[in-house]
């Protein structure tokens, strides 16, 4: 069975003073069977969240929102994979906001994936198209290019062992209140698995594909009723315990149904 995953991307929100309390509250509100929960706070709050969850719910994973593509060097303000040891077990790589704001290329993102795997971090690789690309019918080609650029040079066996996760985030649906339909997201999830199977066959079995793009407790069911979607990368709603409780509860129903059918 593929992992059912709900990952919270807090983006540039919370401080070390309040992140621990929020993490504890979310952990307490989302306990259940079958769902892998991950919280990704800002770098400065990783230790606070780690310590809070160690006391209350160590089953919740901790992720970083980014990692540098080099192990060390003169890169002011950056954080390398070895620096995350003991602070995080997961890392988001290639988020559309990093591609946009930091001009990250697919080649750089691929190097980040490699550094994450070397450090024992489980990567959540983000891919997705712009609105114009979707309207032109180019979304699969765009995602194929992103996956090829990011995964070339990485061994399929190593990707599978690292537990590679792909998050499909249509860029036009992030922070806009607009989201893709469940059918559209499922079609892309199928395309992602085909692309990975064609180029990195060993990584395809068990590959979890998440949806990310204005996910809320009100719309999550539309995505999780699709057999090809295995959870969500949650942005703004992940800062709200009630929203996270609803999202994880719905993910739990999907996990239970898949377990019963296995």
Positions marked active-site: 95, 169
- Residue 171 CA to residue 135 CA, distance in Å, equals 13
Distance of CA 105 to the CA centre of its chain: 18
Say what angle helices 139-151 and 182-199 make with each other, to 10 degrees: 40
Half-sphere exposure of 206 (CA within 13 A, CB side): 12
Beta-strand ranges (E) seen in the chain are 4-9, 35-40, 61-64, 90-93, 122-127, 165-168, 208-211, 231-234
Tell me if residue 6 falls in helix, strand or coil. Answer: strand
Share in percent of the chain as helix, strand, coil (round to 5): 50, 15, 35
Beta-strand ranges (E) seen in 157-207 are 165-168
- Which distant-in-sequence residues (6+ apart) come within 8 Å of 137 by Cβ? none
Which tokens is 153 given? 């040079």
Q: Are 124 and 210 in contact (CB under 8 A)?
A: yes
Q: Are 138 and 172 in contact (CB under 8 A)?
A: no
- In the block, tokens 């450090």 appear at 119
């Amino acid at each position: 069975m593929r992992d059912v995953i709900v990952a919270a991307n807090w983006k540039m929100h919370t401080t070390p003073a309040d992140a621990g309390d929020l993490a504890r509250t979310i952990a307490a509100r989302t306990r259940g069977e079958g769902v892998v929960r991950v919280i990704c706070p800002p770098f400065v709050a990783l230790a606070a969240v780690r310590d809070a969850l160690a006391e209350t719910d160590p089953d919740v994973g901790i992720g970083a929102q980014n990692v540098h593509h080099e192990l060390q060097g003169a890169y002011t303000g950056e954080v390398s994979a070895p620096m995350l040891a003991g602070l995080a077990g997961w890392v988001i790589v290639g988020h559309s906001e990093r591609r946009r704001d930091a001009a990250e290329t697919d080649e750089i993102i691929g190097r980040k994936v490699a550094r994450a795997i070397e450090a024992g971090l489980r990567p959540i690789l983000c891919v997705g198209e712009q609105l114009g690309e979707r309207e032109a019918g180019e979304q699969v080609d765009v995602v194929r290019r992103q996956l090829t650029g990011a995964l070339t040079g990485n061994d399929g066996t190593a990707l599978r062992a690292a537990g590679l996760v792909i998050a499909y985030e249509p860029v036009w649906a992030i922070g806009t209140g607009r989201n893709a339909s469940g059918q559209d997201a499922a079609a892309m999830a199928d395309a992602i698995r085909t692309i990975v199977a064609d180029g990195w066959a060993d990584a395809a079995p068990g590959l979890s594909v998440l949806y990310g793009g204005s996910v809320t407790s009100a719309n999550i069911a539309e995505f999780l009723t699709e057999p090809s979607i295995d959870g969500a990368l949650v942005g703004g709603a992940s800062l709200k315990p009630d929203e996270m409780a609803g999202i994880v509860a719905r993910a739990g129903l999907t996990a239970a149904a898949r377990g019963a059918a296995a």
